[in-house]
Amino acid sequence: MNIQQKLGNLTMQRMHVGKGYAHDSAVKHVEGKAIYIDDMPELPRTMHAALVLSPVAHGSLNGIDASEALALPGVIKVITAKDVPGHNDVAPILSGEALFAETTVEHVGHIVAAVAADSFEIAVQAARLVKLDITPLEPVLDVELAHKNKSYALKVQHLIEGDAASAIAGSEKQFEGTFRIGGQDHFYLEGQIAYAHPGEDRDVTVYSSTQHPSEVQHHVAHVLGVPAHAVDVQIRRMGGGFGGKESHPTIIAAIAAIFADSEKRPCRLRLRRHDDMMATGKRHDYVINWKLGVKADGRIVGLNAECLANAGNVADLTGPVITRTLTHLDNCYSIPAADFIGHACKTNTVSNTAFRGFGGPQGIVAIEGIIDTVSRKLGMDPNHMRAVNYYGPDTGEKTPYDQPVVDNRINDVVDRILQTAEWERRRKEIDAHNATNPLLRRGLAMMPVKFGISFNLPTLNQAGALVHVYMDGSVHLNHGGTEMGQGLFTKVAQVVAEVFQIDADKIKITATNTGKVPNTSATAASTGSDLNGAAAFKAASEIKARMIEVAAKQLDANPDDIIFADNSISGNGKSMTFAELANRCWFNRVSLSAAGHYATPEIHWNAATLKGRPFYYFTYGAAVAEVAIDTLTGETRCLRADIVQDCGKPINPAIDLGQVEGAFVQGMGWLTCEELWWDKEGALRTLGPSTYKIPGSRDVPEIFNVAILDDKPNHENTIFRSKAVGEPPLMLAISVWLALRDAVSSISGGRLAANLDAPATPERVLFAVEDMKQRVTAGSE
């Protein structure tokens, strides 16, 4: 049965869904009353922990001398790998990814030991007194060197459709090149933190700033050597996550739990920004080598792409990140013959991890850069080359991984954005400007996005929820999703309020808790609302069905005639309040509690062949960006951005708009100003806001027009026909990078493609400008 059909008369009129409700914690955020883990009252005898990190990128760990640290007044304990009571392993997917380094350190910032003390300041001071005996070894810091040395963290992934080599060789035109795409630090406002409270026996409650409470629960139990039922993980809210709190919080929580378990005292471990950036992973940087064959009209006939992902020192989540890269190299374009290969290159840098988009952005950067490069070499408008390759009846409607492209909205979003952004007028205006202004040049670019929604591993596409209705008509809501500022809790509460047709303030949103909803998936892959909203809907609907039976008896009405509306229940010309009905249910011994479980249907995936239907549906978007560059300094500014995003039938359009805006600006930062820089010894030198530049308020485009695609409910049976919105808009910021390339290309009259990698920092833009001038002077093609 259609999940919405169970709503009966509620489908006729929406009381909550589709309304722009404010984030449930918005006022608390503004007033400083939102409680994060570091705001929690400190329990008596709480210990504070700090990490001991390797100063060497690669070396043999010969010994650890903690005598000076232990002699410092206030120091309680120092732990290393030998003090782990269970397993020294926190690998999120595989095994053998140590919590503490044992015999070898593999990156600067590798965790070697931890110190617990009476105060945070003493713990930090003591950590500096721990002496490490390390014999340096030659590090591998470059992804291409790792590839040359066949240094890999995982087996290769290979996606093949047709015979790309033959198609390219037999094509009318062939092109090749390389893109280098930088990584990105999550730079969440709240750093990594965990607070562990010991209980009876060896039970422990861990408050963890995590997107994946169940993973923290199971890994803490694994490290402690206890069953999962001995560990309870809770999180009410995070101060940002962006993927950085998917697998790495396990490390922080496990160390805090070891101290709490061994000393029978609470332990709080929070990382300073400097240590956080040294010890935790980033967005994967990539080198992508490509070869493309096209017809003279720009139609793609074959693409070969070799993707070198920097895994860092261990695999972490690199495997599925590469999978998503390979399944997004097509973006919106039909590629009849494809040969996509992905290598997880092992280097002596911190293990890279999940980040908003999860590998998809790197794949889309590559194909959009390819189109920008090849179209100019063909003497063609990049938008024309895009248009002749869009998925459709004439080009093909099946991806290289065999998923049909149904409910195709590419032309819907592209036509809308070209019209609302006044593309034709502004293109002429900018070309005229560039013809007479050699110093301050402007660029304009449009690009679309097709992004798949679901975890690539079908098992992860499930969620649970728990709903209680109390005798006074108030409602308790809990589910496996986590709140990191994206408004998930508000959306799920709207779903439950819609089912019961009661005011949203009657619903108590509670902290995510592994003791209430078990075995959950990470709040990631943009699936939070789809999964948890559907689970909560099922739980609330089950309770409502029981309440209908009681209401029918109380009102002498047919159950089919019972109507829930405006906090009341009516039938047979009679009515009662929701609270009165809840009380009557209790009086008649009818359960007002239910657990709901939802599993995404119709998805399947062959991890060996990289074929199947990994995504339940696609979401679409398009953006036009206008930029200006100073050709003397390389400084840039995004002057205007126009966006249209496909959100299906939004549950909360106000929150969705906020997600679009935030994702775009974060993506713009990744592609323009956020540069991670390691020295030749392998030390990350961009370790804080003074050296690592995230976008500020003045980096936001002065003209910023964001719209949701109108009247386009999801083709698939999602909760209220909505669509995911967390990740897809980030990739629309690629339009800014393309516009910068367009501005540099204008030096050649648009004839030559810019040699501009990402991030397009002022330095890189200046080099690209000088390179373009030299190529124009030399008459390059």
pLDDT at 8: 39
Last residue of a domain, one of 569, 599, 629: 599
554 in the same domain as 483: yes
Q: How far apart are the first and last CA of the chain?
A: 60
DSSP 563-597: EEETTEEEETTEEEEHHHHHHHHHHTT---EEEEE
Tens of pLDDT, residue by residue over 669-689, are 999 999 999 999 999 999 999
Tens of pLDDT, residue by residue over 467-477, are 999 999 999 99
pLDDT at 634: 98
pLDDT at 418: 98
Name the residue among 60, 61, 57 with its Cα closest to residue 142.
57
250 in the same domain as 374: no
Tokens at residue 448, please? 């679309």
As a whole number, the mean pLDDT across the chain is 97
691 in the same domain as 614: yes
485 in the same domain as 384: no
Phi, psi of 624 (to 5 degrees): -120, 130
* Amino acid making up residue 396: G
Q: How many CB atoms within 10 Å of residue 712?
A: 18
Last residue of a domain, one of 211, 239, 270: 270
Would the pLDDT of 10 be above 70? no
pLDDT at 504: 95
411 in the same domain as 300: yes
692 in the same domain as 663: yes
Mean pLDDT over 453-472 rounds to: 97
* 28 in a structural domain: no
Tokens at residue 426, please? 């502004």
* 151 in a structural domain: no
The CA-atom distances, in angstroms, between 22 and each of 478, 599, 623, 688 are 19, 28, 26, 32
For the chain, the domain total comes to 3
- 343, β-bridge pairs: 308
Last residue of a domain, one of 565, 599, 633: 599
* 594 in a structural domain: yes
495 in the same domain as 399: no
CATH code assigned at 595: 3.30.365.10
* 427 in a structural domain: yes
743 in the same domain as 660: yes
* 309 in a structural domain: yes
Enclosing H/E stretch for 447: strand 440-453
For residue 81, what is the DSSP state? G
Give residue for tokens 């500014």. Answer: 637
Strands of the 617-630 sheet, one edge to the other: 440-453, 617-630, 636-645, 703-708
Phi, psi of 524 (to 5 degrees): -160, 175
Q: Which residues 6+ apart lie within 8 Å of 27 measured at CB?
A: 33
For 520, half-sphere exposure in the C-beta direction (CA atoms, 13 angstrom radius) is: 36
DSSP 716-736: S--GGGB---SSGGGGGGHHH
Strands of the 75-79 sheet, one edge to the other: 75-79, 111-117, 47-53, 267-270, 193-198, 204-208, 231-235, 512-513
471 in the same domain as 326: no
pLDDT at 13: 59
Mean pLDDT over 737-766 rounds to: 98
The SS3 assignment for 123 reads helix
- Confidence band for 781, pLDDT divided at 50, 70 and 90: low
416 in the same domain as 469: no
Tens of pLDDT, residue by residue over 516-560, are 999 999 999 999 999 999 999 999 999 999 999 999 999 999 999
Please give the share of the chain, as a percent, with pLDDT higher than 70.
98
CB distance 261 to 197 below 8 Å? no
pLDDT at 464: 98
Distance from C-alpha of 740 to C-alpha of 756, rounded to nearest angstrom: 8
Q: How many helices (H) and strands (E) does the chain have?
A: 19, 29
- Confidence band for 6, pLDDT divided at 50, 70 and 90: very low
Distance from C-alpha of 287 to C-alpha of 182, rounded to nearest angstrom: 9
The SS3 assignment for 645 reads strand
513 in the same domain as 400: no
Please write down the HEC assignment for all residues of 657-694: HHHHHHHHHHHHHHHHCCCCCECCCCCECCCCCCCCCC
* Amino acid making up residue 196: A
Tens of pLDDT, residue by residue over 148-189, are 999 999 999 999 999 999 999 999 999 999 999 999 999 999
* 169 in a structural domain: no
Q: With 0.95 as the threshold, say if the pTM is over it.
A: yes
Would the pLDDT of 12 be above 50? no
pLDDT at 5: 41
Tokens at residue 508, please? 């108590």
Q: Is the peptide bond before 249 cis (omega within 30 degrees of 0)?
A: no
Judge residue 386's burial from the number of C-beta atoms within 10 Å of its C-beta, 0-12 exposed, 13-18 middle, 19 or more buried. buried
CB distance 517 to 478 below 8 Å? yes
Would the pLDDT of 7 be above 70? no
Phi, psi of 397 (to 5 degrees): -130, 35
The CA-atom distances, in angstroms, between 731 and each of 89, 377, 622 are 34, 25, 9
Distance from C-alpha of 333 to C-alpha of 367, rounded to nearest angstrom: 9
Q: Per 3-state DSSP, what percentage of the chain is helix, strand, and coil (rounded to 5)?
A: 35, 25, 40
467 in the same domain as 452: no
What range defines the domain where residue 107 resides?
47-138+192-270
* 371 in a structural domain: yes
Catalytic residue among 215, 675, 727, 781: 727
Tokens at residue 74, please? 């206030």
Distance from C-alpha of 83 to C-alpha of 95, rounded to nearest angstrom: 19
- Confidence band for 780, pLDDT divided at 50, 70 and 90: confident
Name the residue among 713, 695, 591 with its Cα closest to residue 649.
713
Tokens at residue 252, please? 């922080």
Q: Which residues of 616-628 are buried (b: 16+ CB within 10 A; e: fewer)?
A: bbbbbbbbbbbbb
pLDDT at 9: 41
Examine the residue annotation and report whether 727 is marked as an active-site residue of this protein: yes
* Amino acid making up residue 189: L
DSSP 250-287: HHHHHHHHHHHHHHTS-EEEE--HHHHHHHS--BPPEE
Mean pLDDT over 758-768 rounds to: 98
Distance from C-alpha of 90 to C-alpha of 110, rounded to nearest angstrom: 14
Q: How many CB atoms within 10 Å of residue 81?
A: 17
* 361 in a structural domain: yes
Give residue for tokens 């400007």. Answer: 433
CATH code assigned at 120: 3.90.1170.50
Distance from C-alpha of 411 to C-alpha of 291, rounded to nearest angstrom: 27
For residue 230, what is the DSSP state? G
CB distance 358 to 324 below 8 Å? yes
Tens of pLDDT, residue by residue over 347-357, are 999 999 999 99
